[in-house]
Structures are given as structure tokens and as C-alpha cells.
Structure 1
Amino acid sequence: MKITPLQDWIAARMGTHGHRLSRADVERRQLLGLRETVRRASAESRFYSAHLGQLSEADIHSLDDLHRFPFTTARDLRRNPYSFLCVSQGNISRVVTLGTSGTSGEPKRVFFTSEDLESTIDFFRQGMSILAKRGDRVLILLPGERPGSVGDLLREALRRIGAQGIVHDPVNDVPGTLKRMAREHIGVLVGAPAQVLSLARQSDGKSAPRSILLSTDHVPAAIVEALRHIWNCEVFTHYGMTEMGYGGGVECGAHRGYHMREADLCFEIVHPETGRPEPDGVMGEVVFTTLTRVGMPLIRYRTGDLGRFLPDACPCGTVLKTMDRIEGRIDGRVPIAGGSVLTIAELDEALFPMDDLLDFEASISRGGNRDLLRIELSLRDAGKRGARDRALDALRTVPAIRSAELRGDLLVTLALRAPALPATGSTAKRTLVDNRNPERVS
């Protein structure tokens, strides 16, 4: 098995020459990056000059010292994003506005300089080299119309490895997209998990790409297995968010988890409630600090994602750390009557093995003295006999649903509909909507 190409890329970014990259090299370079980030943020960012108080780069003697610094939260970004800037607004090349998932609240804004965007292109170039090669035609089912958008950056990264990135934008016409895949002889597909699954299950096994990269949302194991079965292709997953500069980590050929972008980002796993660092192997909240960000450095940014570092080495032989696939969102544990909790990830793993399911929407409301779980299923053949019973049986494999039904605390209702994508033309994260509390989604 080939070692992830991220290792040589990170070695070059860190200036390691004359010997193979070691874990000590990575951590030594990260320490220097942390000190520089804290120094610049303290001196040039109005937010951090106040937020860090008396703490400075002189207080960082090891990576463990980062735990002494306060967290940065999404709420901080919403309150005054301009106070994070370390450069003049004239030096900003791209501003991304991120809406909130609730019904109110200011959006987040994330700022990137041309240097920041170049770093992302460079990471994408290396990450895509794992699954794409020179001459490949890659269909990108992500927004790419605007300069500096994720699809645009990915297209440029692919150009640099000799592949052709074709920005298609998110899927809103499945037959049309499948025809384009056949016409363009697409070898690699990049897109959101549920949208790619919908394409596969309506393709009759045709127009199969050689490899797929799933990104932008939680990746259910059930979707990965379905894609492998339908198209007999290799499926890779990517973890990132806009605040990271889009890219955070990508799988290698071992498919055990993400190798992280450790030249540009320093990751931690902390207890979601206490904020204390968790050891490798223990699930907690993913936190990151930027190491090379020019326009808008972030220090100990709480992502709200649940993840863990794997304690054992990757079979590919890299010294880079491996993060297990993200388990979902911390705020995604939706309570239901009787003390149980339910997540969209549990619904994903229960329902997506249904071979005619394309996507679904889920919401919880209150009716009388019990909760109501409504599932709207998008099926390839909504009139297929037994579909409703199969869906109910699948849902009852979820312990929280089964126990709540037995107690009489939960009523499950289903609606079946013809093929459609609930998030038509969008890469918005799929959620379990809590109508009892409009501010909360999973």
C-alpha cells in the first residue's frame, strides 16, 4: 500500500530535508506555527488582543501548552467577524457567509487572502492525487461559479495534476447529470453523500466512475457500501469546513480515517463539556488552530463535530495522525420523550441500506403526550409493495426508537414520495429538525 502523498507534501511545507519526516518533525514545526499564529493574532487581531488577555507566544513551550488558551466559538465569529482580521479588508480575496441553522442570529463570515486560498488549492492538489490521475475527467458536484468557491479551488487543484475538473454544481437534475457523466466519460466524482447515492441508485449501474470523493456532510457507512456495490468503485471521504479553509483531512487507500492537513492546522480532541483534552481513541469535540492563515487566524476553534484520533498507526505507514470518521454533531443529539436521544446519523445507518431509498427528511414534533417522528422518504419507486413496512422495520433497529415506541412515548409516521432530492441544488448538511425547538437541528 502506498503511503499517503500528504506526508511528502507536509514535509516540503515544513522544510524538512535530508531525512524522512518523523512525528517529532511534525510536532516541532507545529509548535513554531502555533507561536507565530498567537504572536500575529495578539498583535493584529482586535478580537484576540482582548480574548487572549495576558497570554502570548512566550507561554507556548510545547503543544500541550495550547490547552491553557481560551476557545474560539462560532458565536464569537457571528458577533464581530471583522475583529478577527489581521490584514486590511483590501487584502481579502474571498468572503464566505455562513447562515445559522436556527431561525435567528447573525451569520458567520470567514475571510481568506489569496495566500490562504493558495494553501487550500495546494492541499486539494495533494488530496485529489490519491484518487485522480493525469488525464482524468472529474465531475465536481459542488458550488463553483464564484472565484474562490470550493468547486473553483478544486478545479484549479485538479488542473495542476493534469486532470480536468468539470464544475457541475449540486445535483438538481439526476437524469441530466447521469447523461453528462456518460457523455464526458467521467472517471472521478466529487459530491455530497446523499446526492451521489441518488445518482448511483438511479443509474442502473451505468456511467460508473472509477473513484468517488464524498464531502460536505457526515458520511454514513451505509452510503459508502451502497456506492461500492452499485458502481464497483473506490470511495474516499474528506473532512473539512469553511472555517478550516475548506480542507481538513482526507482518506488514504487504507480507508481507515482522515490524514490531517497538519502543516496548516493543529487539531485537538476535547471533552465537549469540560473542554479538557481527550487521549487518542476517545471520542470528543474536534478543535483546531490555524498555523499558516494570513487573513483570519483562528485559535482553538470549536467545530461542534464529534471525532477521535485513532491510537494505532495507519497501514499506509504515514507518521501523520489519523482521525476516525466524524460521528456527527454535538448538538445533533435530539432528546425524545422518555429520556432517549436520536441523531440523524442513526437514521442514516438504519435507512440507507434500503436499496430503493434515494434520500429522506426527518423531523420531530409534539402531539399530545408523546413525540412524533415524521420521516419523508424519497424512493425510486414510491409505489413498490412493502416499502412502508421495510422502512418501519429499519427504523425499529434504532434502539432509541424501539424503546420509545414500546414505552408509548413516540409515534413514527412515514410519507413516501417519488424520486426527488430534498436539498435540491444545495450542499446543506442533512438534519434532524426539532420542531419542538425551532432553534435546534442536528
Structure 2
Amino acid sequence: MTKLPITPLENWVRRKIGPDRGIALTRSAIDRYQLQALNRTLDHARQNSPFYREHLVGLPQTLTSLDRLAEIPFTTAEDIRRDPLALVCASQDRIARVVTLETSGTTGTPKRLFFTAADQELTVDFFHHGMATLVQPGQRVLILMPGQTPGSVGDLLVRGLSRLQVEGIVQGPVDDPAAAIDHALKEKVDCLVGIPVQVLAMASHRQGPALAGQICNVLLSTDYVPDAIVARIERIWNCRVFKHYGMTEMGLGGGVECSARKGYHLREADLLVEIVDPATGLPLADGNTGEVVFTTLTREGMPLIRYRTGDMAAFRLDSCACGTVLKTLGRIRGRQNAMLEMTRRGRRFFIGDLDEKIFAVDGVIDYRGRIDRQDHHTRLTLHIVPVELQSLDTMKACVREAVLCLSAIRSAMADGRLTVDIQLADGPVAVSTGTAKRRIEHRRERNTCR
């Protein structure tokens, strides 16, 4: 059996936290560094942020152990929405980029995140080392993400790749799979970086197999990457598909898979990641699924301390096959607020569970969902986006069979409390061009007839 290369993030983290060359990285060294960096971050936040000055009142000036991390109050998305400038710890002339994240709904207040040039350099540095598993000097990468604006994810990725002597080519999000395929063929790229459903649309397109043998590796990047999408892309292109986990609040980069592809190795010199019980907020031991909470350890402009992501995951108990001492974050199950309740009797599941079943059906490249409730009955409507307008009745039957594999749906239907309606998406066949998190629309009606 071939020994897997250790993740390049390990040596990168070792250099960043300071052990002398030749001294192996250990968990105890990482823990010591993270405690020191956490105390520096707390001090920086107290001195420069009106929000944190009040938020951290009552904490000791210096924490003596990471075990006391749970004493620090959480920071939430609502804190950022309410008064983002109150969290900023740098003067405005040092802020190099401001990112506005729109929220769902018509009245949602957007989140605004602030980054200095040094903060962006941290992301470039992570992209540089994180991509080393996927590409080699002289290769080319097609970036199917926003990248025209300085400081955008595509721009930072191009800068990181250049340090590997790899050329990054920004295409932008895919709105025309055929055009993206042509671009990839013309540029003779070796690797793609993109959004899961968009890369799936390329692979599933009638011209998609033309990239088989050319594309060696693919990196899919959002908060949640369905395993079913990974399997279909790998089968069509005979390539390796890696997952990246990150969000704007993390500074875009969070963690990336190594060659073992069994979970994410994290930026442990820049981020302190915890798993907590979403109901109680108490820390959970490795192996237990809970909410991902992170603290930035090196952020200047807008440090986030114990920020609740809403994402659900667990640290793996077993050691990674690559041999690293870095922790491995298992797959993101979905978001805490993305639990679907089929009936009032409490049958629930993650939207991510639905993704896994639907995207396993060949020919499906995206879907939208809606839940309608009327008194004691629920209707789940799934609007399927097919790759081609053929064999649609068969596809609808396959989707129905797939979703019935979810026990919550199967049980609710058996009780007569749930109806599942499979339809084709209205209008022209198109795949989502955004990076927004998938949501299921809810509608509630009360029957007034007596």
C-alpha cells in the first residue's frame, strides 16, 4: 500500500508557530501556541473594539488554559449585523477590503466584514500551501469563482497559486457549462476550483466527458459539499475531487482535505476551532457532532472570538492516514437551522441529507424545495433541474425513490401526514450561479373551512 504524503499544512503550521527547523510538530506545541495567540487576540480586541471591550468584561486578563475557552461568550452573526464597526480593531485607513454578505429575505440586514492587507495575506498564504496537494509547478488552474475584484476569493487564489509557480485563470461562476468546458479545454487546465453544483453541471453536460483525462484534480468549495456530487464528478472525469471548508468570516479559507480525503485539516495557526452543543453551548468531545465555533488568532481588522457558524460537524477520533498531528474536521453535515421537520411529531433531517439522496441520481444537477403546511398535513415539493430534457419521467421516479430512503420522509408518508411532489424546475434549465447556502422555502396555511 502506497504511503500517503503528509498534508503540506503541517509544515506550514509548524513554521508559523515557531518550533525550530527539524523539531517535529506536536499537539502540545499547537495547544501552547493557540493559548498564547488567543490571549493576544483577546488583548487586541479589548484595546481596540468597543464591542469586545464590553463583551469580554469579567474575563481574566490572561487565560491560563484552553480549558477555560468556554468561559468566553460567543460572538454571533447578529452581533456583526447590528453594529459591524464596533467589532473593527483597525483604523479605517488600514482596511483594505470590506465584504458585504446579504441575508435571505427582504428585510434581512447584511453582514459587513472588514479585512486589512495583512489579513488578506494570511488567506493568500493558506491558499499557497493548501493547494500544494492538488497542483505542481507549471500546471494551470481554472477558477470558477468571483475573482475580478482585488481581494476577492479568486484574486487571492491566483496570488497563492503564483507562489507555487502555478497559473490561476479566473473564469468566474459558471452560468454556461458549455462555455466553461470550452474555456477549460482551450486553456489546457489541469485543475478546477469551483462551486459543487456548477462543476457538476459541467461534468454532466454532453460535452463534459471531453475533460476526462485532462483534469487531474478538482477542488469544491462551499460550506457543505455533498459526497454524492464528489462521486459523480470523479466517475465522469476519472479525477480526484477535494473539498475545502471556509466562509468569509474565517477569511475565506478554513480547512482543506489532504490526499486521504477523509476530512478537513484546518489553519490551526490562524484559527482555533471548537465543536459545541448547539443547545447548551458547552464544548463537545471529539467524535460528537455539534456546531462549529471558531476564533481568529491572527486577524487584525475584525477579529472574531468564539464565532458561531451554525455549521454542524465533528472532529474525527481516528488519526488521518496522511500521518499529520493536525486535527481532522469531518464532513459538514449542514447548518443547524437547515433541519427540516416533516411533521409536528418531530421527524427531522438535515437539508444536506436530502442533497446526498437527490444528487446521487444521474442527470440531476440542482434542485429547489418548498414545504407547505396546512393543519396537520405537509407537502414537500422538489423542483428538479435536469441536465437534459430527456427521460424525465424516469428521473422523477428515481428522485422519489431516493428521497424515500430518508426514514423521516418515509415514516411521515406512511402516516399519511406527508405528500412528496416531484416537479421539473420552471423555466429554462439553468444551474444556480450563486454561492448561497441552500434553503427550503416554508409556507404555512391554516384551513379555515369547518
Q: TM-score range by the shorter chain?
A: over 0.9
The structural deviation recorded for 1:344 is 1.8
1:412 corresponds to 2:426: no
Q: Counterpart of 1:220 in structure 2: which amino acid?
A: P
CA contact (8 A) 1:155 1:164 kept: yes
Describe the superposition over 1:289-341 as per-residue Cα deviations: whole angstroms up to 9, x where unpaired. 11100111111001100011111211111111110011100001122224212
- 1:399 pairs with one of 398, 407, 416: 407
Q: 2:359 aligns to what?
A: 352
Instruction: Return the alpha-carbon distance in structure 1 between the equivalents of residues 326 and 396 of structure 2.
Output: 46
Structure 1 345/141 Cα, relative in aligned 2: closer, same or farther at 3 Å?
A: same
2:49 matches 1:45: yes
- Inter-partner Cα distance in structure 1 for 2:395 and 2:242: 30
Q: Deviations over 1:101-139 (max 9, x none)?
A: 233231111100000000000001000111011111101
In the other structure, the counterpart of 2:448 is: none
Distance 1:427 1:105, change over 3 A: closer
SS in structure 2 of the partner of residue 386 of structure 1: helix
Partner of 1:152: 155
1:234 is aligned to: 240
Provide the C-alpha distance between the structure 1 equivalents of 2:245 and 2:369, rounded to a whole number of angstroms.
Answer: 24
Tell me the equivalent position of 2:27: 23
AA aligned opposite 1:72: T
Name the residue aligned to 1:293: 299
- The alpha-carbon deviation at position 89 of structure 1 amounts to 1.1
Matches within 5 A, 1:302-317: 302-317=308-323
Alignment check: 8 A CA contact 1:142 1:168 kept = yes
Match of 2:379 among 356, 372, 395: 372
Aligned to 2:130: 127
Return the match for 1:431 from 424, 431, 439: 439
Q: Give me the identity figure in percent.
A: 48
Distance 1:76 1:125 in 2: 32
Residue 35 of structure 1 corresponds to: 39
- How many angstroms apart in 1 are the aligned matches of 2:430 and 2:18? 46
In structure 2, the residue matched to 1:273 is: 279
Given that 1:361 and 1:422 are in contact with CA atoms closer than 8 Å, whether structure 2 keeps it comes out as no
- 2:259, 2:34 → 1: CA distance? 26
Count of aligned pairs between the two proteins = 435
| Aligned counterparts of 2:413 and 2:105: Cα–Cα separation in 1 | 28
Question: Counterparts of 1:118-267 in structure 2 under 5 Å?
Answer: 118-202=121-205, 203-208=207-212, 209-267=215-273
TM-score by length of 2: 0.94
TM-score in terms of structure 1 length:
0.95
Q: CA RMSD in A?
A: 1.5
Structure 1 residue matching 2:209: 3-state secondary structure: coil
Instruction: From the superposition, tell whether residues 110 and 204 of structure 1 become closer, same or farther in structure 2 (CA, over 3 Å).
Output: closer
| Alpha-carbon distance between aligned partners in 1 of 2:390 and 2:204, rounded to the nearest angstrom | 16
- For 2:230 and 2:395, the matched residues in 1 are separated by 22
Deviations 1:49-101 (A, max 9, x none): 0011121432x101111111101011101100000111111110000111112
Say which SS state the counterpart of residue 57 (structure 1) adopts. coil
Q: Distance in 2 between matches of 1:419 and 1:8?
A: 49
Deviation at 1:392? 1.2
**Structure 2, unaligned stretches of length 5 or more?**
446-450
CA deviations 1:329-371 (Å, max 9, x no partner) are 0001122224212432121111111111111111112246411
> Aligned partners of 2:19, 2:444: CA distance in 1, in Å?
54
Within 1, Cα distance between the matches of 2:88 and 2:230?
39
What is the distance in 1 between the residues matched to 2:189 and 2:443?
A: 41
Mapped contact 1:343–1:432 kept (Cα < 8 A) = no
Question: Which shows bigger deviation, 145-154 or 199-208?
Answer: 199-208
Question: Alpha-carbon deviations, 1:140-180, whole Å to 9, x = none?
Answer: 11111111011110011111111111111110011111111
CA distance in 2, matches of 1:183, 1:395: 39
Rounded Cα–Cα distance in structure 1 between residues aligned with 2:422 and 2:140: 40
1:186 deviates by: 1.4
Asked whether the equivalents of residues 36 and 57 of structure 1 are also in contact (C-alpha less than 8 Å), the reply is no
Residues of 1 paired with 2:370 and 2:350: CA distance? Answer: 11
- 172-181 vs 340-349, which deviates more? 340-349
1:97 maps to what in 2? 100
Partner of 1:440: none
Answer whether contact 1:31 1:63 (CA < 8 A) is retained: yes
- Amino acid corresponding to residue 441 of structure 2 in structure 1: V
3-state secondary structure, aligned to 1:435: strand
| Structure 2 residue corresponding to 1:328, chosen from 334, 345, 369 | 334
Cα deviation, residue 402, structure 1: 1.0
